[in-house]
Structure 1
Amino acid sequence: MATKEQGLQRRVDPTAQENFSSASSPADLASEELKQAWDRAFSRDPDASDAWDHAIKAVEAVLIPVIVPKQEKSQLGHVVGSLKSQGERWQFVLPGVGMDNSIQPVLQILGILWPNPDRHANEGRRKPTLAEAQAAVHLAVTVVQWTRADAIELR
C-alpha cells in the first residue's frame, strides 16, 4: 500500500519504505507517531531529535498496552524496567542462541532506542546525528511490526 507523499523525501531503500508503509497503515497512535518520525527523519528539512522522539513514542504506543498496561503515565523506561525485572514472564518469537525465546534481544534493541541522547539536561546531552535518528526510526518500525504480530508475548 503506497503512502501519500507530503513533499520531497530523501531516498530510502524500497524495502525499508515498504516496511514503514506497512507498519504505519493502521489508523492508530503508533502509526501517527511513526509517520511523524519518518517525516522528520527523511524529509527535505529533517529534525533528528524530533524524529528520534517520535520513534520512541511509536514504540511506547504499542508496547505500553502489552507490557505495562496498568502503569499510569508510562514511558518506554517503564517498559524496559518491567522486561528487565520480569523477563522470564515474556518470550520473543525467535528462539535465539540459547533456544529459549529470551526477551533479551528485544531489551537490547529497546536499550539502543531509548533514550534519545538529547532528552535529559545533563553533561552527556547532545543532539543526535541524522544517521542515528534514521536508524532509530527503522528500529521503531521493526518493533512496532513485531508487537503487532505478537512476536513479544507472555509465556
Structure 2
Amino acid sequence: MLPVVFPDRKEKGKKPTVHQARTELIKHGPRWRFVLAESDQVAQGEGSVDVVASMLDRLLKGETERHADDDNRPSEKAEAEAAVHLAVLLVQWFVTSTVRPRD
C-alpha cells in the first residue's frame, strides 16, 4: 500500500507510514480513485476514496497493540483478527490498483 501512495519516498530514504497514507487520502482524496463508485451518478471506476480513508482510520484507531513501545492496552482476539483482515484487504486493493492515483 505505502509504495502506491508514496512511490518515491523509499528512493529518497524516507519511510512512509500508514498514518501518512491515511492523511494523504483524506487531504488529497480527489487525486485518488476507488473502483467502486458510491452512487450511480459517479462514472464507472471513478469512486471516491472516502471509504478507504475511513477504513485506514478505523485500522489505526481500532487496533490498539500496533507498537510494542506504546502504553496501549492489549487487543482482544476478535479485534486483532479484524485488524489483520482489514489490513490484508487494504493492501490487496492497493496492489491490484483497486485504489490508484487519478491520471
Letter in 1 for 2:77: L
CA distance in 1, matches of 2:86, 2:70: 25
Counterpart of 2:52 in structure 1 is 106
Contact 2:36 2:47 survives alignment (8 Å)? yes
Q: 1:74 aligns to what?
A: 16
> Is the Cα–Cα contact under 8 Å of residues 90 and 102 in structure 1 kept in the other structure?
yes
TM normalised by structure 1 equals 0.53
Q: Which residue of 1 aligns with 2:94?
A: 147
The two structures have a TM-score, normalised by structure 2, of: 0.76
Q: How many residues align?
A: 91
What is the 5 A alignment of 1:21-100?
63-71=1-9, 72-97=14-39, 99=42
- Give the Cα separation in 2 of the matches to 1:78 and 1:67: 9
Gaps of 5+ in 2: none
Q: Report the Cα distance in structure 2 between the residues aligned to 1:143 and 1:105, rounded to whole angstroms.
A: 11
Counterpart position of 2:80: 133
How big is each residue's C-alpha offset from its partner over 1:114-146, in whole Å with a ceiling of 9 and x where there is no partner?
153133735xx3111010110111112211221
Structure number having the greater helix percentage: 1
Q: Identity rate of aligned residues, in percent?
A: 33
Q: Deviations over 1:11-52 (max 9, x none)?
A: xxxxxxxxxxxxxxxxxxxxxxxxxxxxxxxxxxxxxxxxxx
The structural deviation recorded for 1:151 is: 0.3
CA contact (8 A) 2:4 2:95 kept: no
Q: Is the 8 A contact 1:68 1:78 kept in 2?
A: no
CA distance in 2: counterparts of 1:95 and 1:75, whole angstroms: 27
Runs of 4+ in 1 over 4 A off after TM superposition: none
Task: Verify the 8 A CA contact 2:32 2:49 in the aligned structure 1.
Answer: yes
Offset at residue 91 of structure 1 (A): 0.5
Answer whether contact 1:90 1:152 (CA < 8 A) is retained. Answer: yes
Kindly report the root-mean-square deviation, in angstroms, between the aligned alpha carbons of the 2 structures: 1.9
Residue aligned with 1:114, SS = helix
Letter paired with 1:121: D
